[in-house]
Amino acid sequence: MGVPNIPLRIPSHAQKVCSLYKRALRCLESHTPDRPLMRYKAVLLRDRFERNRCEKDAVKATKYLLDGEKELFENAHHQPKVFAASAGEVLWNRYGVSPDSVLDYWHPLEKAQYPEYFARREQRKRQMEQWWEKTYGKPGQDEKSHH
């Protein structure tokens, strides 16, 4: 498992430009709540990026990137739009996933509401037990053979 916030490799110039474009687009969304106006501004933003797309001079391309980063920093929204379920936000990992074994504790009247599902589930549980016994043997076999 990697250490968070430590880059594993240095991003290429193209990756940096793509990241800048995406962050600039998100900044634009934060500043422009009106959807049609936001789309118009997004097209203008894309045009600004496309104009310098084929720049062969690495010095100029790096200067454009640094100028873009500076402009993004200067125009940053005071309360940027966030996605609630993104990492670090309020909904991140809010709801745990219940294990399948919880269904074993349902009352028979609850199970009766979904007869096909529970019939198929019981069949699959039997198949899983058969596969387990075929692969690893019956539970407790090793303990009996060692005594």
Q: Could you tell me where the beta strands, DSSP code E, fall in the chain?
A: none
- Whether the CB-CB separation of 13 and 45 falls below 8 Å is answered with no
pTM of the model: 0.58
| pLDDT over 60 at 3, yes or no | no
Q: Where are the domains positioned within the chain? A: 13-75, 100-136
Tens-digit pLDDT profile for residues 114-135: 999 999 999 999 999 999 999 9
Residue 118: closest CA among 130, 131, 104: 104
For residue 86, give Cα distances in angstroms to 7, 61, 91, 93: 19, 32, 7, 9
For residue 37, give Cα distances in angstroms to 20, 32, 44, 49: 21, 7, 11, 19
Cα separation, 109 vs 146, whole angstroms: 44
| pLDDT over 80 at 142, yes or no | no
Instruction: Calculate mean pLDDT across residues 26-42.
Output: 93
